[in-house]
Amino acid sequence: MLQIPFYSFPQLLPFVSLWNIVMTRKKIQIKRIDNTAARQVTFSKRRRGLFKKANELSVLCDAEVAVVVFSATGKLFEHSSTSTEQVIERRNQQSEKGFHRLATTNPSLQHQLESIRCDLLGKELLKRPTS
């Protein structure tokens, strides 16, 4: 494709400069959009953008990615590089390993957890009716 520099056509230069001035993006204030239709359009566009970024991260970095979004009406939207269920299961396994590792390496934390468990069991026993 042949590309001709703008300086070859000086009569176009004012329009190019005007284009750059008019088409700049404005910063928006991040707050809830009051107009329902505008809010829905923004949700759809930003959801697609989020899913696109998740896909790019997955492809570029060979990462396993899952994104789960619930709309204001409660509708579920999800995007995953593999299976959303597999990613969530993997996350839960990592979380359990991290919790177990933290509890076993920090005796003070382990003591606090046991104390909390005892308190909760005591409260449950008090709630039960006596026969």
> What is the greatest pairwise CA distance in the chain?
97
CB neighbourhood size of 86 (10 A): 13
pLDDT given at position 95: 79
- How far, in Å, CA of 120 to CA of 91, rounded? 27
- The SS3 call for residue 51 is helix
pLDDT given at position 52: 97
- Percent above pLDDT 90 for the chain: 41
76 contact partners, CB below 8 Å, separation of at least 6: 68, 69, 70
Higher pLDDT, 12 or 86: 86
pLDDT band of 119, cuts 50, 70, 90: confident
Write the pLDDT tens digit of every residue in 50-86: 999 999 999 999 999 999 999 999 999 999 999 999 9
pTM: 0.56
